[in-house]
Amino acid sequence: MLRKISTDKAPAAIGPYSQGIIVNGMLFASGQIPINPATGNVEGADITAQAELVMKNVGALLAEAGTTCENVVKTTCFLADMGDFAAFNEVYAKYFTEKPARSCVAVKTLPKNVLCEVEVIAAL
């Protein structure tokens, strides 16, 4: 049985998708970008500030599902510029201390021209 996750503490979906889906004790969360959920605006002028907001948004989805960063088993990270890799990792490492499996790729463009996006899969 599928259960959709929705919280106003993370940005609303900007397309035909859910913030997250729970199935078989696992959360599959949609990618989060640095949008302030209260205003709907992109915030943060650099990768560090944007990554911090992304991690807060990921945390809000995890909390809504009843889990935490410690139970994340896989992340996929998208960067607009691989030159931001080291700075992004500094922020990422503060939140994902259990070191889940991860892919990190540079992409040509992200929604709203943000610098990073992160999606997670977590155990409940």
Contact between 120 and 74 under an 8 Å Cβ cutoff? The reply is: yes
Assign 1 a pLDDT band (cuts: 50, 70, 90): confident
**Statement: residue 103 has pLDDT above 90:** yes
Catalytic residue check, 104: yes
* Exposed / middle / buried, residue 33 (Cβ in 10 Å: 0-12, 13-18, 19+): buried
Give the chain's domains with CATH numbers. Answer: 3-123 (3.30.1330.40)
Catalytic residue among 69, 77, 104, 116: 104
What are the tens digits of pLDDT across the range 9-66?
999 988 899 999 999 999 999 999 999 999 999 999 999 999 999 999 999 999 999 9
